[in-house]
């Protein structure tokens, strides 16, 4: 699809647009079935630290948010939680950009989890030097998630004042060269984001040939500078619909990337994850984080599932998958790119 065609689809009009919405979603669902099958992959997420050295304007973990109580899980605790998750085929280790954990610490955590569970390991711990990516890959990490957040350099600079777009791209390139399965993606509904920028995001996903794509709605956090940007029911409905369109278009354009129906989508709409799975998504990510930390991993407010434990979350996502007539994947859910 061309940029113009993607923009028309985002707006729900135009000849190339597969409009109305139902047709776009049906086309995305058919593409998902053709390129990824009916299996839904379960990835268990451990949010092991909410410390962050960065100051992104949209994020509740930003270092300037003095109201947030910070926590770090110890290496033993991280390994214990991962090992206690039973047969989850992928463990995602996620944190703010926290330099407290050395490469040696992370190496040991990865090695122990792999030995005890055999699960694939995805890291989502931010920007690091190429040598560190290499060391973590050698320790056994299989995948790495690093969202570019927006493909627009100006918007990136405004929202992430202490990061650089070029450095972000350098990291994604290093991850690819190091042999990771690479995930990246965008936020939908950011202040200053046009449909043209979103179309650029979708084309960048294609250009980067991503193995995994994360697409989440921007939900303003009350303790950030963007707290007044887009609140209320009308905004939530608009955001949900736009987010679903971006998922559908990402599926059509990138074909076989793994795309999760995110928890954030479930936060702005109680049926958001089901809707995501019906318009292109094929992954769901229940939370493995111990309950006492969940509400503190507050990238955005009012996150769902903060009062549940992992077995509640796992049972819930399994019922959700079956209710859609889909099957729960039993394999590790590696990249489909080589198929
Ligand atoms: S978006 Fe990531 S890097 Fe930015 S403040 Fe939040 S956790 Fe830190």
> Which residues, at least 6 apart from 204, have a Cβ–Cβ distance to it below 8 Å?
148, 151
**Structural element, H or E, at residue 319:** helix 310-323
308 lines ligand 1 (CB under 6 A): no
| Residue 266, strand partner residues | none
Structure tokens at 301: 């407010």
Give ∠ CA 152-155-159 in degrees, rounded to 5: 135
Provide the 10 A C-beta neighbour count for residue 67: 9
Q: What is the mean pLDDT of residues 233-259?
A: 91
Q: What is the pTM of this model?
A: 0.95
> Which residues, at least 6 apart from 183, have a Cβ–Cβ distance to it below 8 Å?
122, 143, 144, 145, 146, 147, 210, 211, 212, 213, 214, 258
Chosen CATH of 3-326 out of 3.20.20.70, 1.25.40.10, 3.30.420.40, 3.40.630.10: 3.20.20.70
Give the pLDDT of residue 339.
47
pLDDT-derived band at 305, boundaries 50, 70, 90: confident
Q: What is the mean pLDDT of residues 57-83?
A: 97
266 lines ligand 1 (CB under 6 A): no
Q: Whose CA is nearest to atom 3 of ligand 1?
A: 54
Question: Phi then psi for 39, rounded to 5 degrees?
Answer: -75, 140
52 lines ligand 1 (CB under 6 A): yes
Give residue 70 CA to ligand 1 midpoint distance, Å.
14
Structure tokens at 302: 């009012």
**Structural element, H or E, at residue 120:** strand 120-124
| Closest atom, ligand 1, to C-alpha of 59 | 6
171 lines ligand 1 (CB under 6 A): no
| Closest atom, ligand 1, to C-alpha of 55 | 5
Give residue 26 CA to ligand 1 midpoint distance, Å.
34
What one-character DSSP code corresponds to residue 286? -
Give residue 105 CA to ligand 1 midpoint distance, Å.
21
* Cα separation of the two ends of the chain: 22
User: Per-domain residue ranges for the chain?
Assistant: 3-326
pLDDT in tens, 177-209: 999 999 999 999 999 999 999 999 999 999 999
96 lines ligand 1 (CB under 6 A): yes
pLDDT in tens, 1-19: 999 999 999 988 755 555 5
């Amino acid at each position: 699809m061309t940029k113009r065609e993607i923009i028309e689809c985002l707006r729900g009009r135009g000849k190339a647009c597969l409009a109305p919405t139902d047709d776009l979603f049906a086309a995305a669902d058919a593409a998902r079935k053709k390129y990824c099958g009916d299996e839904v992959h379960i990835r268990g997420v451990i949010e092991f630290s909410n410390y962050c050295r960065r100051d992104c304007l949209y994020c509740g973990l930003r270092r300037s948010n003095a109201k947030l109580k910070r926590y770090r899980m110890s290496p033993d605790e991280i390994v214990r939680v991962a090992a206690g998750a039973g047969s989850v085929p992928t463990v995602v280790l996620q944190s703010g950009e926290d330099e407290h954990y050395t490469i040696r610490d992370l190496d040991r955590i990865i090695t122990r989890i792999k030995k005890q569970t055999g699960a694939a390991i995805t890291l989502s711990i931010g920007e690091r030097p190429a040598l560190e990516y290499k060391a973590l890959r050698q320790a056994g990490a299989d995948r790495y998630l690093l969202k570019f957040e927006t493909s627009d350099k100006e918007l990136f600079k405004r929202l992430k004042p202490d990061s650089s777009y070029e450095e972000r791209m350098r990291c994604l390139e290093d991850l690819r060269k190091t042999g990771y399965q690479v995930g990246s993606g965008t936020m939908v509904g950011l202040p200053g984001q046009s449909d043209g920028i979103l179309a650029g995001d979708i084309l960048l996903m294609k250009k980067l040939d991503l193995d995994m794509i994360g697409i989440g709605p921007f939900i303003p956090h009350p303790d950030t500078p963007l707290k007044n940007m887009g609140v209320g029911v009308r905004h939530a409905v608009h955001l949900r619909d736009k987010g679903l369109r971006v998922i559908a278009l990402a599926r059509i354009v990138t074909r076989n990337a793994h795309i999760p129906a995110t928890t954030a989508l479930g936060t702005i709409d109680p049926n958001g994850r089901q809707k995501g799975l019906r318009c292109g998504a094929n992954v769901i990510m229940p939370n493995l984080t111990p309950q006492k930390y969940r509400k503190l991993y507050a990238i955005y407010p009012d996150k769902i599932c903060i009062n549940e434990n992992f077995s509640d979350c796992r049972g819930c996502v399994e019922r959700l998958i079956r209710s859609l007539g889909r099957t729960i994947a039993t394999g590790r859910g590696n990249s489909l790119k080589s198929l």
